[in-house]
Structure 1
Amino acid sequence: MSERRWSIGELARASGVTVRTLHHYDRIGLVSPGERTAAGHRRYLEADIRRLYRVRTLCGMGLSLDEVAVVLRNAGDDPGSLRGLLTAQLADLEARAARIAESAQRLRGLLARLAGETMPAPEQFLAALEPMSVDAGRYLSAAQLATITERAAQLGSGAVETLKTEWLELFTRLRQHVLDGTPVDDPAVRELVARWRATAAAFHPGDRPFEAATTALWEDNRAGLGRELDERLGWSGPGGAAEVLDYLRKARAAGEEEKDG
C-alpha cells in the first residue's frame, strides 16, 4: 500500500497544532513536509508525523525549540529512540498525575468537612492552595525569598496584584510572538521587554546581583519551573512557559547588544 500523506490543514486538525505553528516549524527546519505537490503544496509523510510527535513531546517536557533541534539531530527515527522518548514522557505524566491526585485528595477533605456543615480550618485551605502555585521555596534561596517578601510588603497588596496582572498580560503577549515566530528584535517585542523590565524592577530595583542570581536559578531549574508555570497558567502544546522565558532572554540580550553597539 502507498504511504499516506497529510496536507498541512489535515495535520493541524489531527494533531491539535495550529497551521501557523506548523509553518513556523517548517521555517526553522524543525518539522518540514517530506513532499510537495507540483503546485507547491505541503504533504507530510509518516516520518514527519513521528518527528512532530517528538517535537511536541520534548517541548512539553520543558525543552526550548533550540534544545529540541539539538536532541533531534542526535536521535534516529527508530523504535529504540521512540521507546526512550515514550518512557520519559510517561514518567513525566505519572509525576504530574501524582501531584493532581494529591490536590484532589485535599479537596475531597475540604468537601467532606463542608458536607458536615463544618468550616475547614485555614490550614486546610492553605494546604489545598499550595500545589496550585509554583513552589518558590524549592528554587529560591532563603535570602532571595526574604528579599521578594520584604519588597512585596513595601509595595502593598494592591500594587502586587496590579503587577501580577501586568506580568500575565506581558507573558501571554510574548507567547503569541513565540507562536508567530516574531524575531526577537521586532519593535513590538522590544516594547514588551521594556515593560517587563519595569515590572521586574518593582521587586528588585537596581539590584543586579539579585537579577543575576534569579537568572542563574532559572537556567538551573528550567524544565521544572517551566512545567509548573504551564500547569498554573493552563498552557499546553507549543509556546510553553519555558520557551517564552527563553524567548524573553534572547530579546533582552538583543536589546543589550544594540545598546553596546
Structure 2
Amino acid sequence: MPLTVGELARRCGLTVRTLHHYDAIGLLQPSLRSDAGYRLYDRANVERLHRIQALRQLGLSLADVGTVLSGPAQPLDQVINRQIAQLDQELERATRLRNRLVALGGQVAAGQSPDLAEWLDTLELMTMYEKYFSPEELKNLPLHNDPDVLAQWNALIGQVQAAMDRGVAPGSPHAHALALQWMEAVQRGTGHNPGFISRLKAMQDNEPELRERNGITPALERFIEQALVDARLAIFERYLLPPEMERMRANYGKQMYDWPPLIADVRSAMNAGTPPSDPQAQQLARRWMELFRSYAGDDPATHARIREAYANEPDLRSGSTVDQAMLAYVRQATLAAG
C-alpha cells in the first residue's frame, strides 16, 4: 500500500523535513501520485530508503550516498549483512561494557569503589566514543582526553544556552561571536582533524545520552547553525554584489554537513602525497566544485570575489581545517581536471 510522506516519516522514524530534503536533492523521489496529486512512496521507494539509511549509518555523507546509489545496485541482502556486521560490533562493545561493570560491581561489594555514579558515567561515555573512534584516534581527540578542552567546551555550551534563554537572536552580533567561537572550539576539540568532525556529528545525532550530558539540544544546535550562517553571510556581504548575495542567502549553509567528510578526504589525499593531476584528486576537486557552485553559482567573477573573501577572512574557514594550501591543491586539481 503506497504511503504519503507523513505516513512514511512516522513509520520509519524520520522527519517529514528529512524526506522532503531527500526528494529535493534527488536522493529519494516518490514514484506515485494519488488522485488528488499527493506524492506517494511505494515498495521500491522504501527499499531505496533502507539503502540510504544503511549507508548513512556507515558514515557516508548524503553526496557520497547519492554517488553509491547512482552506480550498480548492491544486492539488498549484502546491504543487510553489512548492517548485521555493524550491529554485531556494537553488541561486542556492549558485552565488554557489561563485563567491566560486573568487575566494578565486585569492587563495590568489597568496599573499594570511589564515587560510583561518576565512575560509571565516565565508563559509559568512553564506550560511547569507542563506537565511533579507534583507541589510537581517541588518543588524538582532545575533546575526549583533555580536561581543559572539555571544560572550555562545556563553558561555551553554557554561554550559548544562556544567550538563548535571554532571547538573543541568531542574527545578532553576540550570536555571531558565539558561533565563531563554537567553530574554533570544534577545531580545537578535534585536534584540527577534519575526519573527526563528521563522526562527532553522527555521535551527537545517534546517542541521546550524549545530548543529555553535554547539553547540546537540537534547539541549541539549530541556533548555532543559523548564527554561523548569518555571521559568514555578513562577511561575504563586504565582497559580493547584491544579486550575488541574494543567491548566497538562499543557498549558503544548506549542505554544511557535506563539507567535513570531503575536506577530510582532500586532507588525506594531500597527506598521502597524491598529486593534483591524479584522477583521485581530480574527482575530489569535482565534488568540491559541485558543493561550491551550489551556493556560488557559475559566474567566474563571483567565484573570484568569494575566493578573495576566503583568502582575507579567517572566520570563513574557522572550524573547517581548510587552509590556503588546501585551497591551492583543489584549484590545481580543478585545472588538471579541465
- Bin of the TM-score, shorter chain as denominator length: 0.5 to 0.7
- Counterpart AA for 1:139: E
User: Equivalences for 1:1-261 in 2 at 5 Å?
Assistant: 4-76=1-73, 81-114=75-108, 116=109, 118-120=111-113, 125=119, 128-129=123-124, 130-133=126-129, 138-139=136-137, 149=146, 152=148, 157=151, 159-165=152-158, 195-201=178-184, 214-215=191-192, 217-219=193-195, 227-230=202-205, 232-234=207-209, 247-248=256-257, 250=259, 257=306, 260=309
Map of 1:174 onto structure 2: none
* Residue pair 2:2, 2:43 contacting (<8 A) in 1 also: yes
Shift of the 260–73 alpha-carbon distance from structure 1 to 2, 3 Å rule, reads same
C-alpha distance 10-194 of structure 1, shift in aligned 2 (>3 A): same
Measure the CA separation in 1 of the matches of 2:138 and 2:123: 22
Q: Which residue identity is paired with 2:104?
A: L
Are the equivalent residues in 1 in contact too, given 2:63–2:258 (CA < 8 A)?
no
Alignment deviations for residues 125-166 of structure 1 (CA, whole Å, 9 cap, x no partner): 387353244668632776x85xx949x28xx94x44312546
Offset, 1:65 = 1.0
Unaligned runs of 5+ in 1: 170-186, 205-209
In the alignment, residue 89 of structure 1 is paired with which amino acid? Answer: Q
Per the alignment, do residues 43 and 96 of structure 1 end up closer, same or farther by CA in structure 2, a change over 3 Å counting? Answer: same
**Letter in structure 2 aligned against 1:257:** I
- Following superposition, the deviation at residue 111 of structure 1 comes to 2.9
Distance 1:100 1:226, change over 3 A: farther
**Partner Cα distance (1:197, 1:100) in 2:** 37
Residues 110 and 50 of structure 1: is their aligned pair in 2 closer, same or farther, counting only changes over 3 Å? Answer: same
Residues 70-118 of structure 1: CA deviation (Å, up to 9, x unaligned): 1110132xxx52122112111111111211221122223223433x261
RMSD: 4.6
Q: Flag the structure with more relative contact order, 1 or 2, with Cα contacts below 8 A and sequence separation at least 6.
A: 1
**Superposition TM-score, scaled by structure 2 size:** 0.49
Aligned length: 215
Give the unaligned 5+ runs of structure 2: 162-169, 211-217, 226-252, 261-291, 297-304, 311-338
Whether the 8 Å contact between 1:61 and 1:227 is mirrored in structure 2 is no
Distance 1:11 1:231 in 2: 20
Specify the alignment match of 1:178 in structure 2: none
Specify whether residues 7 and 232 from structure 1 end up closer, same or farther in structure 2 by C-alpha distance, changes over 3 A only.
closer
In structure 1, distance between residues paired with 2:84 and 2:6:
29
- Identical residues among aligned pairs (%): 25
8 Å contact from structure 1 (residues 166, 199) kept in 2: no
Aligned-pair CA distance for 1:222: 6.8
Alpha-carbon distance between aligned partners in 2 of 1:21 and 1:33, rounded to the nearest angstrom: 13
Structure-2 separation of matches of 1:160 and 1:222:
15
Taking a change above 3 Å as real, the CA distance of residues 6 and 132 of structure 1, as seen in their structure-2 partners, is closer
CA distance in 2: counterparts of 1:110 and 1:192, whole angstroms: 44
